Homo-oligomer: A and B are copies of this chain.
Amino acid sequence: MEKKVSLKDIAHHLGVSVALVSYVLNGKEKQARVGAEMAEKVRRAARELNYRPNLVARSLQSGKTRTIGLIVADISNPFFSSIARIIEDQAKKLGYVVIFGSSDENDEKQQDLIEVFLNRKVDAFIISPAVNTEKQIISLQKMGIPVVLIDRYFKEQWVDVVHSNNHAAAEQAVSQLVRNGRKKIAMVAYDSPLQHMEERRAGYKAALEAGNLGFRPEWLVPVAYTRMDRDVREGLGKLLEPLQIDAVFFATNSLATAGLRRINEAGLKIPQDLALISFDENEAFDFFYAPVTYISQSLDTIGKEAVEVVVDRINGSRKAPVNKIVEAKLVVRESCGSRK
């Protein structure tokens, strides 16, 4: 059980002042004009005593913790854990550490997490916000804490945001189905008022218009996050048995996997009976007998940008809200019924 060694210990050990040791160990020896031999002695002592700076103390003094609070819907969702990994790496590169929390799409949980993180004095937040949490974000802004939203966002753009071009990507996907001759195209989407979902739905409708197919409300299956499985089973099921559609567009990968299970149950053949495309990737898509066509978001870019934006804010650069839009691309495979 080795004892903790502080600056004071080193100072005592060497018979010098704490300040001196601090200067040397922070590379401020020149601007504090510390003697070269002294500096060396200090460094050696620090090494020998196995000194570790206490960052808690430093944080108290500096008011900065070099910690970023990451809040997503669910860290176990591959979409978010992949982003978390990118964020972790980029943050580390810039000398930051990440603490995370899952909101389960619940505004109260999100508020709790924000409070816990605030008390711990995180320097900034990266949040994929739950529904109905504008006030929370605004409140953070009012406190002067940098926040950047990822993936999700609100209608008005008053905060930094990094997200994919949801409308265009969705439109492109659905157009692909149209081009492949599908005429009765359904969409399964969360009933969320969040802008990313809004735009995916809008992209779907736009593609239908463009294809002269017209939008039929009964083909837009709404799903509540808290009853995801049930809503998909029942809502989509109604369109499948008896079969009234010839294609489906899923707004997220979790909706798609739930939908695939239901489609299998109905005994439908992809893409003959039904063509399909999903927003977001999922390893499972590769192993479906008809590899699933999907929209690939650049998680890499989103994660990296988010960290960069937020660290810039911490450092006081940037003025107007940043709205960084990342290109998503369609990966065409068998499930959408394209002729090779």
Contact = CB atoms under 8 A, between A and B. Distances in A.
Contacts of A143: 1-2
Give the top 4 A-B pairs by smallest Cβ distance, nearest first. Answer: A81-B81, A76-B85, A284-B284, A1-B144
B76 A81 contact: yes
A121 interface: yes
A121 B287 contact: no
A97 interface: yes
Contacts of A59: 56
Interface in A12-65: 52-57, 59-60, 65
25 contacts: A1-B142, A2-B143, A52-B119, A54-B60, A55-B119, A56-B120, A56-B121, A67-B99, A75-B84, A75-B85, A76-B81, A81-B81, A81-B84, A84-B100, A85-B102, A88-B102, A97-B116, A98-B100, A99-B99, A100-B100, A257-B286, A283-B283, A284-B287, A285-B287, A287-B288
Given A92-B101, A102-B88, A282-B283, A119 B54 contact: yes
A53 B120 CA distance: 9
Nearest to A86: B76
Given A92-B101, A99-B99, A286-B284, A65 B56 contact: yes
Given A77-B81, A257-B287, A285-B287, 15 more contacts: A54-B119, A55-B121, A56-B59, A56-B120, A57-B60, A76-B78, A76-B82, A76-B84, A84-B100, A92-B101, A97-B99, A97-B116, A257-B283, A282-B283, A283-B284
A84 B81 CA distance: 10
A117 B282 CA distance: 32
A260 interface: yes
A229 interface: no
Contacts of A81: 75-78, 80-81, 84
Contacts of A57: 60
Contacts of A53: 119
A261 interface: yes
A54 B61 CA distance: 12
A74 interface: yes
Given A2-B142, A284-B283, A284-B284, A97 B120 contact: yes
Interface in A141-200: 142-144
A118 interface: yes
Nearest to A78: B78
A289 B269 CA distance: 12
Q: For A75, A84, A92, A285, which residue has the most chain B Cβ atoms within 10 angstroms? A: A75
A288 B283 CA distance: 11
Nearest to A139: B2
A300 to B, nearest CB: 11
